[in-house]
Structure 1
Amino acid sequence: MNNTVKESFSDSARGAVPGRAPGPPGPPGPAALAAKVRTMAPSMTRSMQRVAEAVAGDPAGCAQLTVTGLAERTGTSEATVVRTSRLLGYPGYRDLRLALAGLAAQQASGAAPSVTADIAVDDPIEDVIAKLAHDERQTLADTAAGLDPGQVEAAVHAMSSAHRIDVYGAGASALVAQDLVQKLLRIGLVAHAHPDPHLAVTTAVQLSSGDVAIAITHSGRTVDVIEPLRVAFDHGATTVAVTGRPDGEIAQYADHVLTTSTARESELRPAAMSSRTGQLLVVDCLFIGVAQRTYETAAPALSASYEALAHRHSPRQR
């Protein structure tokens, strides 16, 4: 077996426990709080947005406030503060205050970003490079902090034993779907990407229990992606949504929801570019998880693909 391939996977790779549902996720830690606010704020009511924007903008100051104090500062009610805390994943406001104190400590230590990713039309190229690099790092960190390991584990378990895996995406997300399919094919799985929405729906009809359908959509509202996932869901396939809007319509038809960071859109960098970074991280997590759990067959398949490509690129023997 190719040693390079063998070293790519952990010797301690373990499989998911069949039949065991993932436990409920705990409250987000300090590192995940800012990412959670960015992800959830667009779908909140305006009053809840004011609370979310306040805690994200001044975690140190808000950590010192009682629920009454934060309500007064944001011009909302105590009930709104509590509802916002729960929507962000905390049992109550006290838990949110603890996370705010932790986030404030991280910012005081210099962990908070010092540059923004807003790119101006007259920025020199060195500033463009720095801002894009920062934005990519922040998107990856936010996505990692917001991912529920239990949901990832469940999706990986379903994919590892699937008869067939169909992946749907439109526009930039179609590129991510194709990336996942290419990875899965190289470890011997049966996988298909369907950028054509009509073909996606007609093939989704053929899925059933034991198959997996994965939809990739940042907005959670892309009809061309929602419809085939709905059909796959109705026909009994295990369904997975990779989305920046876990409360979007796509979640209605997903057994497992994997949340990506909300893209920071600007005039020169549309959301499709930013969101793809988080999507690719989730795709890599799924691929490595599946490869770990199917190591006995995945490693030889990868080795064979490496050898085939090496042979193709080497000078032909006459």
Structure 2
Amino acid sequence: MKENVTRRAGRPRPVAVAPPPTPPEPGALAAKVRTLAPSMTRSMQRVAETVAGDPAGCAALTVTGLAERTGTSEATVVRTARLLGYPGYRDLRLALAGLAAQLASGAAPAVTADIAVDDSLADVVAKLTQDERQALADTAAGLDLRQLEAAVAALTAARRIDVYGVGASSLVAQDLAQKLLRIGLVAHAHADPHLAVTGAVQLRAGDVALAVTHSGRTVDVIEPLRAAFDRGATTVAVTGRPDGEVTRYADHVLTTSTARESELRPAAMSSRASQLLVVDCLFIGVAQRTYASAAPALHASYEALAHRHAPRRR
């Protein structure tokens, strides 16, 4: 792997550069648009929504033709393609052709309406199930497996792991830390921002700091990640905004998708399932690579907890 020198804490340190991200599969294009559109400029939104809404028609257009159709510029079209994960417009056109073929074969994703105040519980269950299923499918389709592999490798070799998250994301951070503890790794979840920064400044090369933030701009998560980054720890961001500020301090970025937000389904709810999918993938990847030690550790924790659930004798 090529080496690059990144300045941290006032001194150069060799840092392995992760391979460039793999362009999304055709089926992941709509998911990428849903995830990134809120953070795009209006002109880029027009391009992204146009190609997602009419992949067959746009696949036949040149970059100039798409710019004219969307009332934007060629530079905006190219920037949109790159933000969606494609090296250039040619790669986006190939993905559009592939997506058009999928849609023609009947592989279009189901879409449900937002949950209404007067919906029956049966409708709520059906709509939530469909939304969660779509969010998980979108996250899986858009997940960069090379970034995931690099994050798993870093966690596997880590001396210590700190995980940051606040609000709903703190539940996801705690879930990952608890799983890693059960296979014998030294892992801590920090929901208190002061304790998170206090712990982060103790990290160094060989440690891992992982931040969970849907928005990518939660200050209480970014600050400890930046402190860990500056001290040479390997840093990972699990976020719904790959262009968010948190990624400036992340060696590896794992992008999540979300179900559609609504009045009764805020971002905290819609992002949670996708975040849990990503941290479960991280945990399983680490457990596979440390199976010789992870399996006995899991067994020991099961045994210890089983005794706590045993009925008491009177």
After TM superposition, the score normalised by the length of structure 1 is 0.89
Aligned length: 300
Alignment of 1:44-193 (within 5 A): 44-193=40-189
- Report the alpha carbon displacement of residue 59 of structure 1 after superposing the two structures with TM: 1.5
- Report the alpha carbon displacement of residue 263 of structure 1 after superposing the two structures with TM: 4.7
- Report the alpha carbon displacement of residue 67 of structure 1 after superposing the two structures with TM: 2.5
Q: Which residue of 2 aligns with 1:236?
A: 232
Higher strand share: 2
- Report the alpha carbon displacement of residue 22 of structure 1 after superposing the two structures with TM: 4.1
Q: Which residue of 2 aligns with 1:287?
A: 283
RMSD: 1.8
Q: Contact 2:131–2:259 (CA<8 Å) still a contact in 1? A: no
Q: Which residue of 2 aligns with 1:14?
A: none
Q: Residue type matched to 1:61 in 2?
A: G
| Structure 2 residue 21 is matched with structure 1 residue 25 | yes
User: What SS does structure 2 have at the residue aligned with 1:308?
Assistant: helix
**Change in CA separation of 1:79 and 1:236 when aligned onto 2, cut-off 3 Å:** closer
Q: What percent of counterpart residues are identical?
A: 83
Q: Residue type matched to 1:196 in 2?
A: D
Q: Which residue of 2 aligns with 1:212?
A: 208
User: What SS does structure 2 have at the residue aligned with 1:247?
Assistant: coil
Say which is worse superposed, 186-195 or 116-125, in terms of deviation: 116-125
Alignment partner of 2:272 out of 276, 281, 297: 276
Which structure would you say has the larger RCO, counting Cα contacts within 8 Å and 6 or more residues apart? 1
Work out the CA distance in 1 between the residues paired with 2:129 and 2:259. Answer: 14
Q: Residue type matched to 1:231 in 2?
A: A
Deviations 1:154-190 (A, max 9, x none): 1111111111111100000000000001101110111
Q: Which residue of 1 aligns with 2:217?
A: 221
Q: Residue type matched to 2:235 in 1?
A: T
Q: Residue type matched to 2:166 in 1?
A: A
Q: Residue type matched to 2:93 in 1?
A: R
Work out the CA distance in 2 between the residues paired with 1:114 and 1:261. Answer: 16
Q: Contact 1:31–1:103 (CA<8 Å) still a contact in 2? A: yes
**Change in CA separation of 1:117 and 1:173 when aligned onto 2, cut-off 3 Å:** farther
Q: Contact 2:21–2:147 (CA<8 Å) still a contact in 1? A: no
Deviations 1:256-306 (A, max 9, x none): 111111452111000010111110011001100111111111000011112
After TM superposition, the score normalised by the length of structure 2 is 0.90
Alignment partner of 1:40 out of 36, 39, 56: 36
Q: Give unmatched runs, 5+ long, in structure 2.
A: 1-14
**Change in CA separation of 1:117 and 1:229 when aligned onto 2, cut-off 3 Å:** farther
